[in-house]
Amino acid sequence: MKLELPELPFAKDALAPHMSADTLDFHHGKHHNAYVVKGNELLEEAGLEADSLEQLVMEAAKAGGGLFNNVGQHYNHSFFWNSISPNGGGQPAGAVADAIDASFGSYENFKAEFVTGGVGQFGSGWVWLAAEGETLKIVQTANADTPLTEGLKPILVCDVWEHAYYLDFQNRRPDFLSSFLDNLVNWEFANQNLA
């Protein structure tokens, strides 16, 4: 199985002013693409076989090292592009709204915990909404780690590596996370993942 850089599911300027085309040029075109290129080199050497990207992540996690770092980053970034939308943001609807209320008590509680989780992720990493059975939880992961390897089901993710927000927000990670929830989060994608 080869990694392929996915097309963004929106135009590069469609998320402005919340995420600029310059950020997407660097983040998608340079950072994510580098994981695809290096990941394919390492996959060729490792000879891993998988029927899906999720299965490949699990196999690469067993191998660890650079192989997992690149395959995991490819998975995480691919998931992130679908977790954002030019028509996103605001309070969720549908099954994910009900699950958030059941797991966190309210959307406001969820938002506070999500932002706190993203701010509290030391250094580079991710803040996820993931399902453990019927319960949703906030999960922080470092570097290439993903809830998949913890037996959880990813529902949505926000990238908190500095390259995800520095051009638009400088060092204001809390503002970026609030903007992600208020303006970009793709609840339709989250509902699909919850199903």
Task: Fill in the amino acid letter for 58.
Answer: M
Calculate the alpha carbon distances from 61 to 27, 32, 37, 38, 73 in Å: 23, 19, 18, 16, 12
Report the pLDDT value the prediction gives residue 164, as an integer from 0 to 100. 80
Asked, for residue 50, whether it belongs to a domain, the answer is: yes
Number of C-beta neighbours around residue 36 at 10 A = 20
Asked, for residue 157, whether it belongs to a domain, the answer is: yes
Asked, for residue 58, whether it belongs to a domain, the answer is: yes
Residues 130 and 187 in one domain: yes
Residues 76 and 124 in one domain: no
Residues 112 and 72 in one domain: no
Residues 45 and 78 in one domain: yes
Report the pLDDT value the prediction gives residue 6, as an integer from 0 to 100. 97
Please say which residue of 31, 52, 83 terminates a domain.
Answer: 83
Please say which residue of 63, 83, 103 terminates a domain.
Answer: 83
Range of the domain at 54: 21-83
Q: What is the CATH number of the domain that holds 131?
A: 3.55.40.20
Residues 6+ apart with CB under 8 A from 50: 1, 56, 58, 59
pTM: 0.95
Please say which residue of 83, 115, 130 terminates a domain.
Answer: 83
State the sign of the Cα–Cα–Cα–Cα dihedral 69, 70, 74, 77.
positive
Asked, for residue 34, whether it belongs to a domain, the answer is: yes
Q: What is the CATH number of the domain that holds 68?
A: 1.10.287.990
Residues 130 and 159 in one domain: yes
Asked, for residue 27, whether it belongs to a domain, the answer is: yes
**Beta-bridge mates of residue 140:** 127
Each residue's pLDDT tens digit in the chain (195 positions)?
899 999 999 999 999 999 999 999 999 999 999 999 999 999 999 988 899 999 999 999 999 999 999 999 999 999 999 999 999 999 999 999 999 999 999 999 999 999 999 998 888 899 999 999 999 999 999 999 999 999 999 999 999 988 787 777 888 788 999 999 999 999 999 999 998
Count structural domains, the chain.
2
